[in-house]
Amino acid sequence: MRYCVYGLGAVGGFIAARLARSGADVCGVARGATLQAIHERGIEVRDECDVARATLPVAERLADLDGVDCVILAVKATALPALLNDLRNGLAGDAVVLTAMNGVPWWFTDGFTGPLNGVALDSVDPSGVLAAAVPAHRVIGSAVHLTCSTPEPGVVAVGSGTKLVIGPATSAAPLDEATRTAAEDLVVAGFDVDVTDAIHQEVWFKLWGNLSFNPVSMLTRADAQQILSDALLHDFVARCVGEAKTIGSALGFTTTSSTEERLQIARDLGPFRPSMLQDAEAGKQVELDALLGSVQEIGTLLGVGTPAIDTLLGLSRVHARAHGLYPA
């Protein structure tokens, strides 16, 4: 299978570099300084004890890369509207899209068996253009449990974790083979991969942590370890996580994990700097809608109260707008 990693930042650059070094047939889409750096030097991956470099074909548009079977979409949710035409024009034949993104994706309620089946989420895809361009029957979802950053274009600094949970967004049979093949190739590339037929639940479980740690880190400029070390902030984060868990139950998701066990996963990752903090420090648009607004909207649709999430959304939205990180 020929892969194209669309977006060669932290997560996308890490996945692309590992696939390339494992011998997989992989190319990439990037823009600006990242495109130039990878053209000239490839992707440099730095961890505690090693620096490795991977080379791969890279272009500014998916439409310029032929024969792609699987697009690994590793961009910010805020960037998606500007990419739609390229995705629509570049997805040839029966190519599939594996989403390696944060938050609630556009395909979440498309073919979902829960109470919001087919309900469009204004916070994620207000006009339905994303679902029309890349429908759920072409999507492999994922929950990415790893941390990394991009200290400069074309460079990935590895943090912790290598786990990817992937699964088809719908029960459409053609996705099964593509999911198995992608899982096998990602394992060869060095990732710890689980395949699931309940990817919606896995995406929601990851969101338990993301919806709180990301905006809180933006507001405080603190890493996850610092956030959890403050007793009052720990309790507030736990309330946000608890509300998300309640919404998940209303959606039909079952889990034996407690709020504290979900917070322990964050502790185990160490003093990582959430992606929203990295974006805010770089002056980039932040993913408030996908990570937090979507959860608040789903809670409202289901009649589940979200007082802690409401407070965090209001604080984060005003802060981000005041600093030019969120549209007015």
**Complete DSSP assignment for 174-188:** HHHHHHHHHHHHHHH
**Which amino acid is present at 33?**
A
Asked about 206 being catalytic, the answer comes back as: yes
Q: How many CB atoms lie within 10 A of CB 256?
A: 5
Structural domain boundaries of the chain? 2-197, 201-322
Residue 313, H or E segment: helix 307-322
Q: What is the pLDDT of residue 271?
A: 84
Question: How many CB atoms neighbour CB 92 within 10 A?
Answer: 12
Note the pLDDT of residue 115.
86
Q: Which of 76, 163, 206, 245 is catalytic?
A: 206
Q: Are 295 and 211 in contact (CB under 8 A)?
A: yes
Domain 201-322 - what CATH class? mainly alpha
What's the pLDDT at 171? 73
Q: Are 274 and 213 in contact (CB under 8 A)?
A: yes
Distances (CA, A) of 58 to 3, 101, 273: 12, 20, 28
Give the count of alpha carbons within 13 A of 279, CB side only. 24
Q: How many CA atoms lie within 13 A of 257 on its CB side?
A: 21
pLDDT in tens, the chain (328 residues): 999 999 999 999 999 999 999 999 999 999 999 999 999 999 999 988 889 999 999 999 999 998 899 999 999 999 998 998 898 888 888 899 999 999 999 999 986 777 888 888 999 998 888 988 899 999 999 999 998 999 999 999 998 889 999 999 987 656 889 999 999 999 999 999 999 999 999 999 889 888 999 999 999 999 989 999 999 999 999 999 999 999 999 999 887 788 888 888 788 877 888 889 999 999 999 999 999 999 999 999 999 999 999 999 999 999 999 999 998 7
CA distance 155 to 317: 30
Instruction: Read off the pTM.
Output: 0.93
Cα gap 247→73, rounded to integer Å: 27
List, in sequence order, every residue forming a beta bridge with 166; answer none if it has no partner: 142, 195
How many angstroms separate the first and last alpha carbons of the chain? 42
Taking the C-alpha atoms of residue 257 and residue 25, their distance in angstroms, rounded to an integer, is 38
Architecture category of domain 2-197 in CATH:
3-Layer(aba) Sandwich (3.40)
Identify the helix (H) or strand (E) that includes residue 120. Answer: none
Closest CA to 279 of 322, 203, 217, 226: 217
- Residue 155: partners with Cβ closer than 8 Å, 6 or more residues away: 13, 37, 43, 44, 45, 46
